[in-house]
């Protein structure tokens, strides 16, 4: 019998500098924060939210994405683990608007590519994590 998982509930990325990464994800994506340790939280709250490790969890339309500080090593998709993380967009026009937004944010990115069945826009976060936006044809 196979496990009948139907979607990803959440993913958490480890980052070198939570402030730098949070500024990037806030500026580029603007997702609402689902969970973080509140400023001035008491010891009980800090303990209850200890699994955040000083990071943040964002809410997307479907699922969650978290950032967790974990040292200063840069991402390398050629090591075992994550290759890249891709996010769906609705159309080529949305992908073109995203490219313009990345330009306005000062984020280096590749040109939009036609890969046959969809379009992709590739870029990297401050820890060199490979990110991709995709749009159907």
Write the pLDDT tens digit of every residue in 94-125.
Answer: 999 999 999 999 999 999 999 999 999 999 99
Going across the sheet that includes 64-69, the strands are 10-15, 64-69, 56-59, 33-36
Q: How many domains does the chain have?
A: 2
Whole-angstrom distance between the N-terminal and C-terminal Cα of the chain?
A: 35
The two tokens of residue 54 are 């000083």
92 and 127 part of one domain: yes
pTM > 0.85: yes or no: yes
CA distances to 36, 49, 68, 93 from 1, rounded to whole Å, are: 37, 35, 34, 42
Residue 24 lies in a domain: yes
Strand order in the sheet with 130-136: 85-88, 130-136, 118-124, 113-114
* Residue 4 counted as domain residue: yes
Domain range enclosing 136: 83-137
């Amino acid at each position: 019998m196979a496990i009948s998982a139907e979607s990803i509930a959440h993913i958490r990325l480890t980052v070198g500098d939570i402030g730098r990464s949070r500024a990037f994800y806030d500026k580029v994506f603007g997702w609402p924060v689902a969970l973080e340790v509140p400023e001035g939280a008491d010891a009980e709250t800090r303990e209850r939210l200890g699994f955040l490790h000083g990071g943040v969890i964002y809410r997307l339309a479907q699922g969650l994405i978290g950032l967790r500080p974990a040292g200063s090593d840069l991402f390398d998709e050629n090591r075992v683990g994550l290759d890249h993380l891709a996010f769906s967009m609705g159309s080529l026009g949305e992908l073109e608007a995203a490219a313009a937004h990345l330009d306005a944010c000062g984020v280096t990115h590749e040109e939009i590519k036609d890969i046959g069945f969809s379009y992709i826009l590739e870029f990297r976060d401050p820890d060199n994590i490979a990110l991709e936006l995709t749009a159907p044809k």
